[in-house]
Structure formats: C-alpha cells, structure tokens
Amino acid sequence: MNSSLQIRWNASLPVPVTKESEKSSTTDTLDAYRVVLFNDEEHSFDEVIEQIIKATQCSRQKAERCTWEVHTRGRSIVYSGQMSACLKVSAILEEIALKTEIQTG
C-alpha cells in the first residue's frame, strides 16, 4: 500500500477554555467524548459513508476520509462532542450493525 494514500482525521482537537465555558462547565463538556468506528468485513464503503453522513451530518468528503481510515487503520474517530450527542451518533451507526465505542477524552 502506498503510504501517501493514508488520510488521518482527528476530530478531537483541543477546545480553548473561556470564562463563558467555565460558567457552563459540567461533566458533559464539549468534545469530552468521541465515537470510534471499527472496521468489519461486512459493509461496503458506500454503506459506511452513507451511515456516517446520516449519523454526523458531515460532508461526503469527511465521511470518505473516515471510512478510508477505518479500512486502513482498523478504526476512526468519526465524531467528538457531548455524551448525549455521541450516544445518538453511535446509535445511528449501529442501525446497520456497525461496531462503535464511545470513549472519553
């Protein structure tokens, strides 16, 4: 495999803490959780791409990058955010029996 084709996407970029965010800070903070999607041999690229778009409302290009990373690395962070949003994203991905995990940052 040509290593120049590998695409890395990291959805868990640091979020600056401001006085406003400190006021509303809870244990369910922004980007405190992430949804990891795992590779399997049962779904086509198109199925995974479409389900990522449905779950995360991201662009097709971003969904394609995530799908390629899942295929080549075995996993990809497809979404980062609050726990409640991660649960929704994970549930939508799992509608077609994709394997996911929610991790803490």
pLDDT digits (tens, 9 = 90+) for 56-102: 999 999 999 999 999 999 999 999 999 999 999 999 999 999 999 99
Tell whether 25 is covered by a domain. Answer: no
How many folded domains does the chain comprise? Answer: 1
pLDDT in tens, 8-28: 333 433 333 333 333 334 444
Tell whether 59 is covered by a domain. Answer: yes
Residue 2: the pLDDT is 37
Domain that holds residue 53: 43-105
Distance separating alpha carbons of residues 51 and 4, to the nearest angstrom: 26
Tell whether 31 is covered by a domain. Answer: no
Helices (H) then strands (E): counts for the chain: 4, 3
Residue 31: the pLDDT is 74
pTM of the model: 0.72
Residue 64: the pLDDT is 98
Tell whether 76 is covered by a domain. Answer: yes
Tell whether 51 is covered by a domain. Answer: yes
Q: What are phi and psi of 75, to 5 degrees?
A: -165, 160
